[in-house]
């Protein structure tokens, strides 16, 4: 009898211990939306400055609505439109309001083309009359209202069109558009990817003219990819892709005059091989601003074009020993003076120029970076911006007078703050997060930063996460090669400093990037929590070449991509490896895209430090990558062959000693699978054993259906097999 009670007691103690343990995170949970955050989707302030709109998707009923909220009270005032009340469409994926807010463009049946571009069926909805008008029977690109909303311009099959809404009359502005030859009004592949814009046309302020770019791709080399699909025979997709040192599109600026119904070519100057990364009409309806960048991207001219006289004049010139960044910060004030951001004093700051390009004031100064320009309030003469004044891993919102005086910090919490201002700059909605706090949205007074009300937070997510006992993401710095580098570390929740743990490092390392920030978890961070549960320490270090520490720190990698970044990752791994709780014989590294390039280099050139690496969609030779990105940092391979070849993994395959997993999508239009195929062949010919996986038809993001789950399952198993922990060994002994 006593023996039975004793066994029962042991059973109760054991089961109580099991139930007391924290819940273990799974890969399925990471990718099925379990940890998704609440957000404000497509937030936009209305002209009255007292209300804002948000796109809400009712997934249960498969409907969409643009709902109106009062800034001050948060009360829902109604809806501009609800697709439940429309017969023609059940839901829409996006919207654009006209300037007068009387009409709205609705996008449906959207098809993605490349990273930023898409096409779809669009409708115009008249808010007052509730009349819905189909814009075209065709799937079109970039529909844009004229200033008075009487017309819409758009692109179809590489040609630019204008439709008058009242009559339905359609005018075809260009007729020479042809796939892989001529593009009008939207950008070619490399502009879209590297200058991050698609719509390459703009209405002037009176709606009497449209400026647009014309791309002649005829001489640009073609790249072809097999799309395997599900049919008996694969399809082949072919597009123009200028690789480093190869021919680019010939770009020209055109201005279409609606009255004469004619386009004219604008002669910008004596430029031979150049880019036009931005065009914007100024507040003067006859003056167009054009940014012209030389092929080396270290000389930028801001040009004002008088569209009535067809005369171009350079009003400002920006040069840099390395490169000049292209941004969307150019803003014209009422008197046609303009706001501009520049790194010319060593840090990114805000400048004010008059309409002739003469400097009025440098508005911000200091050894910190302006990371976002929000706008200028003409009434108070204040500029609103985001910066790293509180440390390079943090972001705060500030206001400052246009003459650089009376600066105010408008956010109080330390972490990542990002603002969305009302049209009249009375309020701003702040989104905040840090390593312990998922996104929370609050309303603030723009003059003082005073909290007006709480809008939305993710307290439910935090409550859900309590069951998992996640480890904190610890942000610190590490001294490497004479620099204090930002670093985060995640340890096992039951971390014991007397034990030794394998180290798994993540990095991206690309120019101007940042992985170490005081912000909340993303999907990869939840994966790192899973790995921490398995007994790993995960670390990320932002080395030289990354951003937000000044131009010199960012641009030190010029002409030698992969050299200094790799030196920093290797040295950081060595310094971490001597810590008492790190097993220096078990250090792995991984990365995606530029990070994959780095991880591949690490397992080759750092083979005495790293015993394992995973590279997803890596560049393996800079000769394979596109002209704009690569030449910005490396010039051309004809000019800099050593810089290209010395730091490209494909030329160092004989150095492979550790365990290597290489992953790529066969439909990657950005970093072509050619990169991995050439690396695979080189490794095979060196008789180097490694693991690899190709995901059919998947692009650079490698997603869709169960793809991400499969990929991260594969990577997790590879890590557990090749970076041994006490847990791994115990599990292996139990099998």
390 φ, ψ (degrees, to nearest 5): -100, 25
For every residue of 146-160, DSSP letters joined together read -TTSSEEEEEETTEE
**Element spanning 119, H or E:** strand 118-126
* Catalytic-role residue among 593, 611, 621, 666: 593
Bridge-based pairing state of the strands 582-592 and 382-387 = unpaired
The predicted structure's pLDDT at residue 18: 41
For 304-321, b where at least 16 C-beta lie within 10 A, e where not — what string? bbebeeeebeebbebebe
The predicted structure's pLDDT at residue 484: 98
Residues in CB range of 129: below 8 A, 6 or more apart: none
How far apart CA 309 and CA 289 sit, in angstroms, is 14
The predicted structure's pLDDT at residue 294: 98
Residues in CB range of 54: below 8 A, 6 or more apart: 40, 41, 42, 43, 44, 66, 67, 69
pLDDT at 735 over 60: no
The predicted structure's pLDDT at residue 439: 97
Residues in CB range of 724: below 8 A, 6 or more apart: 502, 586
Neighbour tally for 184: CB within 10 Å: 25
When pLDDT is cut at 50, 70 and 90, the band that residue 11 belongs to is very low
pLDDT at 626 over 70: yes
pLDDT at 2 over 80: no
Percent of the chain residues past pLDDT 70, beyond the cut: 96
Q: Are 278 and 325 in contact (CB under 8 A)?
A: no
104 burial level (CB within 10 Å; 0-12, 13-18, 19+): buried
Q: Which two tokens stand for residue 426?
A: 């009375």
How far apart CA 363 and CA 339 sit, in angstroms, is 9
Percent of the chain residues past pLDDT 90, beyond the cut: 95
How far apart CA 570 and CA 678 sit, in angstroms, is 25
Average pLDDT score over the chain: 95
More confident residue, 734 or 670: 670
How far apart CA 133 and CA 12 sit, in angstroms, is 69
386 φ, ψ (degrees, to nearest 5): -115, 145
Q: Identify the CA nearest to 707 among candidates 662, 676, 715.
A: 715
Q: Are 184 and 174 in contact (CB under 8 A)?
A: yes
Q: Are 204 and 151 in contact (CB under 8 A)?
A: no
Q: pTM of the full predicted structure?
A: 0.94
Residues in CB range of 466: below 8 A, 6 or more apart: none
Q: What is the pLDDT of residues 127-169, one digit of tens each?
A: 999 999 999 999 999 999 999 999 999 999 999 999 999 999 9
User: Tokens 């008058």 correspond to what residue?
Assistant: 164
Bridge-based pairing state of the strands 118-126 and 287-294 = unpaired
Q: Identify the CA nearest to 350 among candidates 359, 360, 363.
A: 363
**Element spanning 641, H or E:** helix 641-646
When pLDDT is cut at 50, 70 and 90, the band that residue 728 belongs to is low
Q: Are 616 and 508 in contact (CB under 8 A)?
A: no
Distance of CA 224 to the CA centre of its chain: 26
Pick from 258-262, 393-397, 555-559, 727-731: least confident: 727-731
Q: Are 534 and 608 in contact (CB under 8 A)?
A: no
Residues in CB range of 338: below 8 A, 6 or more apart: 282, 289, 330, 331, 332, 352, 353, 355
Average pLDDT on 385-405 reads 98
Sign of torsion over alpha carbons 170, 172, 173, 178: positive
Q: Is 700 a catalytic residue?
A: yes
* Catalytic-role residue among 668, 672, 676, 697: 668
Whole-number Cα distances in Å, 592 to 195, 242, 351: 21, 22, 36
Q: Identify the CA nearest to 610 among candidates 590, 594, 586.
A: 586
How far apart CA 704 and CA 259 sit, in angstroms, is 48
How far apart CA 679 and CA 613 sit, in angstroms, is 15
The predicted structure's pLDDT at residue 724: 87
How far apart CA 648 and CA 78 sit, in angstroms, is 57
pLDDT at 16 over 60: no
Average pLDDT on 331-344 reads 97
Instruction: Region of 25 please: left (phi>0), alpha (psi -120 to 50) or beta.
Output: beta
For every residue of 324-385, DSSP letters joined together read ----S--EE-TTS-EEEEE-TTSS-EEEEE-TTS-EEEE---SSS-EEEEEEEETTTTEEEE
Q: Identify the CA nearest to 163 among candidates 134, 125, 201.
A: 134
Q: What is the pLDDT of residues 30-43, one digit of tens each?
A: 999 999 999 988 89
DSSP 425: S
How far apart CA 165 and CA 150 sit, in angstroms, is 6
Q: Are 363 and 345 in contact (CB under 8 A)?
A: no
Neighbour tally for 162: CB within 10 Å: 20
Q: Identify the CA nearest to 131 among candidates 171, 165, 170.
A: 165
The predicted structure's pLDDT at residue 120: 98
pLDDT at 734 over 80: no
């Amino acid at each position: 009898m006593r023996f039975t009670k004793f066994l029962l007691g042991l059973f109760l103690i054991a089961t109580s211990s099991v139930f007391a343990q924290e819940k273990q995170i799974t890969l399925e949970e990471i990718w099925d939306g379990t940890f998704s955050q609440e957000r404000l989707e497509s937030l936009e302030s209305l002209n009255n400055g007292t209300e804002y709109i948000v796109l809400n998707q009712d997934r249960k009923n498969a409907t969409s609505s643009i709902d109106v909220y009062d800034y001050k009270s948060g009360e829902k005032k109604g809806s501009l439109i609800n697709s439940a009340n429309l017969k023609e469409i059940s839901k829409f994926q996006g919207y654009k309001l006209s300037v007068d807010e009387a009409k709205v463009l609705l996008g449906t049946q959207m098809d993605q083309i490349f990273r930023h571009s898409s096409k779809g069926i669009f409708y115009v909805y008249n808010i007052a009359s509730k009349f819905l008008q189909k814009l075209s029977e065709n799937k079109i690109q970039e529909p844009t209202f004229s200033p008075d909303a009487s017309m819409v311009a758009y692109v179809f099959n590489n040609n630019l069109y204008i439709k008058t809404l009242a009559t339905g009359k359609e005018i075809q502005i260009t007729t020479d558009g042809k796939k892989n030859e001529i593009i009008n009004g939207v950008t070619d592949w490399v502009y879209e990817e590297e200058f991050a814009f698609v719509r390459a046309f703009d209405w002037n302020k009176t709606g009497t003219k449209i400026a647009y770019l014309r791309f002649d791709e005829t001489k640009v080399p073609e790249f072809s990819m097999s799309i395997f699909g599900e049919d008996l025979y694969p399809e082949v997709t072919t597009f123009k892709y200028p690789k480093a040192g190869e021919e680019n599109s010939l770009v020209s600026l055109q201005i279409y005059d609606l009255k004469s119904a004619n386009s004219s070519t604008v002669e910008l100057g004596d430029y031979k091989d150049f880019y036009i990364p931005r065009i914007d009409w100024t507040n003067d309806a006859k003056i167009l601003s054009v940014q012209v960048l030389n092929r080396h991207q270290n000389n930028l001219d801001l040009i004002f074009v008088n569209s009535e006289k067809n005369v171009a004049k350079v009003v400002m010139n920006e040069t840099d020993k390395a490169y000049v960044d292209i941004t969307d910060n150019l803003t014209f004030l009422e008197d046609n003076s303009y706001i501009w951001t520049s790194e010319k004093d060593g840090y990114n700051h805000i400048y004010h120029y008059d309409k002739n390009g003469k400097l009025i004031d440098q508005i911000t100064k200091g050894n910190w970076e302006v990371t976002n320009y929000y706008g200028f309030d003409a009434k108070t003469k204040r500029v609103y911006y985001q910066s790293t004044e509180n440390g390079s891993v943090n972001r705060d919102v500030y206001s400052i007078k246009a003459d650089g005086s009376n600066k105010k910090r408008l956010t109080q919490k330390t972490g990542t703050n990002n603002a969305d201002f009302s049209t009249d700059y009375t309020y701003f909605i702040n989104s905040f997060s840090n390593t312990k706090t998922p996104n929370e949205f609050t309303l603030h007074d723009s003059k003082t930063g005073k909290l007006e009300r709480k809008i939305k937070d993710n307290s439910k997510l935090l409550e859900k996460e309590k069951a998992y006992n996640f480890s904190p993401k610890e942000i610190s710095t590490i001294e490497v090669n004479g620099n204090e580098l930002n670093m985060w570390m995640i340890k096992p929740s039951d971390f014991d400093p007397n034990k030794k743990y394998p180290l798994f490092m993540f990095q991206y390392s690309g120019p101007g990037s940042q992985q170490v920030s005081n912000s909340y978890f993303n999907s990869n961070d939840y994966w790192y929590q899973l790995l921490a549960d398995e007994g790993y320490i995960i670390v990320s270090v932002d080395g030289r070449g990354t951003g937000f520490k000044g131009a010199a720190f960012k641009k030190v990698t010029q002409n030698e991509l992969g050299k200094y970044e790799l030196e920093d990752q290797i040295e950081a791994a060595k310094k971490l490896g001597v810590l008492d709780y790190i097993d220096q014989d078990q250090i792995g590294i991984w990365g995606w895209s530029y990070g994959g390039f780095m991880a591949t280099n690490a397992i080759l050139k750092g083979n005495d430090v790293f015993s394992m690496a995973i590279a997803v969609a890596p560049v393996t030779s800079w000769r394979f990558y596109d002209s704009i990105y690569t030449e910005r940092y490396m010039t051309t391979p004809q000019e800099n062959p050593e810089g290209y070849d010395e730091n490209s993994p494909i030329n160092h395959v004989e150095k492979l000693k550790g365990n290597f997993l290489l992953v790529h999508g066969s439909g990657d239009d950005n970093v072509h699978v050619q990169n991995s195929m050439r690396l695979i062949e080189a490794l095979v010919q060196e008789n180097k054993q490694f693991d690899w996986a190709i995901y059919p038809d998947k692009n650079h993001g490698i997603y869709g259906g169960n793809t991400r789950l499969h990929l991260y399952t594969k990577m997790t198993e590879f890590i557990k097999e090749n970076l041994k922990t006490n847990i791994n060994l115990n599990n292996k002994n139990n099998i």
